[in-house]
Amino acid sequence: MTKPGVALALVCALLTLSWRWAAADFSKDIVFTWGADRAKVMENGNLLQLTLDRGSGSGFVSKQDFLFGRIDMDIKLVPGNSAGTVTTFYLSSEGPEHDEVDFEFLGNVTGQPVTLHTNVFSKGKGGREQQFYLWFDPRLDFHTYSIVWNPQQILFYVDGTPIREFKNLEAKGVPFPKSQRMKLYSSLWNADEWATRGGLVKTDWSQAPFVSYYRNFRAGACVGTCSLDRAAAARMNSVRGKYMIYNYCRDTIRNPTPPIECL
């Protein structure tokens, strides 16, 4: 009988053989899901612009779906006063028991930090939010946000630095996304009822239109990044200690009994 650890290693090896790291062409590899008149593909398909105005926002989805691998995207967020706006970058399947892996960027007034909101859904159950202040202003330039997804864990990266790990703990009864293929979704929309300081700061429409940019969408195998080594784990713990501002595992009001994966 093949041991579980060996089986997972074989899966990763097969993924390495069957996937090729590929840069997407926005003009060919995505579809606008809404607000197509507010979105634009530029620079021969390498740069994409989403826009939010009083009418609505905009969004897109990848034509390809994925079952494990690594997804990278360079994103430049709405500059200046972005309060009330949300820019998203996430993987999701379909249906009431969908799986989902979220990056959401909650805008803020000029000079105040943008909140990076992360979440993981498995079999339709989410509620696993962790939030961070970034150690740079993501509105000034492009930065790389990555999701690594394999049978062992899901890893969230910012500019190559791991910030979160969600392990496969099915043996302890925690559902893990591993059987539903997911597509990449991104959007820019107005959520001023909750996005900035719990909805206290509203969108300043005199600043509209709001614009975010995407480039260098890359998808492929998790070659060399299927797990965290000791140095990477130390970097992750350092970032979490300095910049995490919310962790559902520590929210005793919402979770009087800590979820199994938090123990």
pLDDT tens digits along 52-94: 999 999 999 999 999 999 999 999 999 999 999 999 999 999 9
- For residue 22, tell me if it sits in a domain: yes
CATH code of the domain covering residue 239: 2.60.120.200
Q: Is 165 a known active-site residue?
A: no
Residue 237, phi then psi, degrees to nearest 5:
-65, -35
Per-residue pLDDT, 224: 54
Q: How many structural domains are present in the chain?
A: 1
* Cα–Cα distance for residue pair 182/199, rounded to 1 Å: 30
- For residue 7, tell me if it sits in a domain: no
Residue, of 52 and 222, whose pLDDT is higher: 52
Q: Residue 77: left (phi > 0), alpha (psi -120 to 50), or beta?
A: beta
Per-residue pLDDT, 221: 79
Domain extent for 87: 17-262
Predicted confidence (pLDDT) per residue in 4-13, tens digit: 444 444 444 3
Per-residue pLDDT, 216: 96
Closest CA relative to residue 152, chosen from 65, 227, 99, 238: 227
- For residue 93, tell me if it sits in a domain: yes
Per-residue pLDDT, 22: 65
* Cα–Cα distance for residue pair 161/228, rounded to 1 Å: 11
Per the CB < 8 A criterion, the answer to whether 75 and 202 are in contact is no
- For residue 12, tell me if it sits in a domain: no
- For residue 9, tell me if it sits in a domain: no
Which of 17-26, 48-57, 138-147 comes out lowest in average pLDDT? Answer: 17-26
Predicted confidence (pLDDT) per residue in 125-142, tens digit: 999 999 999 999 999 999
User: Hey, what amino acid is at 246?
Assistant: Y
Predicted confidence (pLDDT) per residue in 154-191, tens digit: 999 999 999 999 999 999 999 999 999 999 999 999 99
- For residue 176, tell me if it sits in a domain: yes
Per-residue pLDDT, 130: 98
Exposed, middle or buried, 140 (CB in 10 Å: 0-12/13-18/19+)?
A: exposed
HSE-CB of 210 using CA atoms within 13 angstroms: 32
- For residue 237, tell me if it sits in a domain: yes
Per the CB < 8 A criterion, the answer to whether 126 and 98 are in contact is no
Q: Is 100 a known active-site residue?
A: yes
Per-residue pLDDT, 8: 41
- For residue 8, tell me if it sits in a domain: no
Q: Considering 100, 165, 170, 193, which one is annotated as catalytic?
A: 100
Q: Considering 97, 104, 165, 170, which one is annotated as catalytic?
A: 104
